[in-house]
Structures are given as structure tokens and as C-alpha cells.
Amino acid sequence: MTTLRRHIPLAVGILTIITLHLSLSRAGATYYMTQITMSAYYALVVIGLCLLMGYAGQVSLGHAGFFAVGGYICAVLTTHNLVAYRGAPFILWCRSLGLVFERQDLYGVTILSFAPWPAFVASLTVAGLIAFLIGLPVLRLKGHYLAMATMGFGLIIYRLVLGARLFGQADGISNVPPFPLFGSLQVNGRPPFRVQNYYIAWTVVMAAMLLSVSLIHSRVGRALRSIHENEEAAHSLGIDAYRYKLATFVLSALFAAAGGALLTHYNGSIGPSEVTVMKSIRYVAIVAVGGMANLWGALAMGVVLNFLSLRGVFGTYDDVVFGAILIAMMVFAPEGLLRVPRLRALPFLARRRHG
């Protein structure tokens, strides 16, 4: 019964996705679906960050960094030409396992590179490992040291992709091949694949939501919430807060990396603008607007705000808007926008009422 109730938003979500598709195609405006698909992949980052912020009570200011680790590793592995090494035993071995593949680029040059699947696995592995290594010392400390450490990590990744030839410096990496999933399904941003990719992205996001919602209602989820509410009491019940925080941090990094990897295949490219600190702050702002410990709120806000941003609604004030949103949320509605009407009409009235 309660399990059913918890999945009502899922049904509503799926209905919304289908309705949106039908009305857009009826209005002949399917081009909007491209930005919605992109927003869905960004929302994946937000879902992971929501688990971390809302449930483990830790803030990361480096999630754009994890997004970039996912995206850039996939981009490098699937575009870096290995033709010169085609005779090397390692490459032959990879080839026999189907880990590398050969294709012709626009100019007819033969490119031998890693296939998207192994690249995807590698990118998630690296992102998870980095999160583990950052969290290992930092999460032992009380307070928001994770925010500091992850911000440092984000900055390092930013300078790295700007400086390293391998990562294309200011140009980023383009000509990233599509990601064939199974059958005729592939993550591909070209117009003929638009509808298919809309549904691929949403399937991934809804799967992530399903996993996350189940998680927060499980034993581990209760433990996480208890840590967030009162760490000392959680310890007294045998809960190893450190281990749970670390695992949640790694999980949220994996979500971000998956979002980065898939969006990179979808766009066919990735650039340093994905790695700025402002991008990380944007994700934090979205989780805050969605209501911290509110996965569906974070998802909704993640899709809407990223969509508006991608459509260029905020113009040159893009970053300013997200910064302002974060400040406004902290001042007026620290529990999130979606909780405001239920609790109180106006913050200053509420403050008076509560003394």
C-alpha cells in the first residue's frame, strides 16, 4: 500500500513525459525535445546531488567535475585515434573482446578507438574512485569540509581540461560517436533519433529515480535520514555514519558521471564550460529549489530550469540567475520552494508566528 503510494509520482512523471511528447509533435515543435533530453541528463546529476545533500547532509561544490570526468573520459576514449598502435598486442586483445572499434570520420580518415560501452564503464569507475579517494579523508571531519574539497577538485578538473592537449583545451572534444545501446537504440543527438533519444534519456532518469526512491525508503535510507537528523543518536544505534556518507557520495558521483557520459554522446561533444564552478553551484541551487530532501522536486526543478537555461531564456545572466536563486532560497525558503505553500504564506509572517 505505502509502496504503491510512493510510486504515484513515477506514474505522474511518465504520463507527463508522454503527454509532452504528443503535444509537442502535434504543435510541430519537436525541436524542443532536444533540450528536454539534454535537461534530463543534467537532472541525473541533480538526483545524485539530492541524495547527497538532502539525505546524507553533505554538500558537493564539485559535481560539475564528476560530470566532466564522465563526459571527458568517454569523449577521449571514443575519439582518440589508436590506428598507430593497431598492431600492438594490447589493442589486438581489446579488439578480440570487442572493446575497440574502427570507423571512418567525415574526411574518410580511419579511426580506431575504444567502443562506447567500455568507455562508459571506465568513466564511471574513475569517477567513483575519485569520489572515494576525496571522501575517505574528508568525510571523517565534522562540518562542511566536503564542499571545500570538492570545490578544489572541480577547479583542478577545470584547469586540467583547459590545459591538456588530450582534452582539447578551450575547444573541448568533438566528433564523439553515438552510443549504441541494443538493437537499433542509440544515444545520438541527430534529428532522426530525436524521439527515440527523448525516451532513452527519460528511461534512464526514471530508472535512477526508482532506484533512489527505493533507497531512501530502505534500511539504508532510514539510516541516512537519521544521520542527517542527529548523528550522535544514529551512532548510538550502531550506524556507521562515515561509511554511509562515503557510499552516498560515491553513488552521487556515479550519477553525475553517467549524466556527463550520456550527454556527451548525445551532443557529440563536451567542452570546458561544463566544468566551471558556476555549473556546480547551479546543481546545488537546483537541489535547494527542489527542496533538499525532495527527489521529485529536485527532478522537476532540474528539468525546468536547465531547459529554460538551454533555451537561452536567461541570456547572458545565466549564472547570475542561478546564484540569485541559491541566495533567495537560503534566505526565504531553506526547505525548498515546493514546501513553502504548505507551511506558510510569507516567511516574515511565519517568523512572527513562531516567535
Partner 1 sequence: MADVLLETRKMNRFFGGLHAVKDVSIRVPQGAIQAVIGPNGAGKTTLFNLIAGTLTPHGGEVFFRGRRITAWKPHAIATLGIARTFQTTKLFAHMTVLENVMVGRHSRTRSGFLAGMLSLPRTWREDRETQVASRAILDELGLTALAGERASELPFGRQRLVEFARALAMEPQMLLLDEPAAGLNIYETRELATLITRIRDRGITCLVVEHDMSLVMDISDEVVVLDQGKKIAQGPPRSIQRDPEVIRIYLGDGNA
Q: How far apart are CA 123 and CA 118, in angstroms?
A: 9
Residue selected from 59, 69, 112, 251 as contacting partner 1 according to rule CB under 8 A: 251
Minimum distance of partner 1 from residue 233's CB (angstroms): 4
When binding is defined by CB under 8 A, the residue of 12, 129, 141, 233 that contacts partner 1 is 233
Interface with partner 1 (CB under 8 A), residue from 144, 218, 327, 346: 218
Rounded to a whole number of angstroms, the minimum distance from the CB of residue 234 to partner 1 is 7
Smallest separation (angstroms) from partner 1 to the CB of 212: 7
334 binding partner 1? (CB under 8 A):
no
Q: Note the helical H segments in 269-294.
A: 277-290
- Bridge partners of residue 270, in order along the sequence: 173
113: enclosing H helix or E strand: strand 110-114
Is 11 near partner 1 (CB under 8 A)? no
Give the position of cell 589508436: 82
Angle 335-35-306 from CA coordinates, rounded to 5°: 20
CA 205, CA 288: separation in Å to the nearest integer? 19
C-alpha 138/C-alpha 145 separation (Å) is 6
CB of 217 to partner 1, least distance (A): 8
Binding of partner 1 by 219 (CB under 8 A):
yes
61/292 with CB nearer partner 1: 292
237 binds partner 1 (CB under 8 A): yes
Q: Does 225 participate in binding partner 1 (rule CB under 8 A)?
A: yes
Per CB under 8 A, the list member of 99, 214, 310, 321 interacting with partner 1 is 214
Phi-psi region of 175 (alpha: psi -120 to 50; beta: other; left: phi over 0): left
**Region of 130-138, 164-172, 173-181, 230-238 interacting with partner 1 (CB under 8 A):** 230-238
DSSP 178-216: PEE-STT-EE--SGGGHHHHHHHHHHHHHHHHHHHHHHH
Tell me: does residue 222 bind partner 1 (CB under 8 A): yes
| Residue (103 or 222) nearer to partner 1, CB | 222
Residue 58 binds to partner 1 (criterion: CB under 8 A): no
HSE value, Cβ hemisphere, 13 Å, CA-based, for 288: 22
* 186 backbone dihedrals φ, ψ, rounded to 5°: -150, 150
Contact between 205 and 43 (Cβ < 8 Å): yes
Locate 58 and state its grid cell. 553533505
- Of 136 and 156, which has the nearer Cβ to partner 1? 136
Q: How far is the CB of 235 from partner 1 (least distance, A)?
A: 4
| Binding residue (CB under 8 A) for partner 1 from 21, 235, 339, 344 | 235
List residues binding partner 1 (CB under 8 A). 211-212, 214-215, 218-223, 225-226, 229-230, 232-241, 247, 251
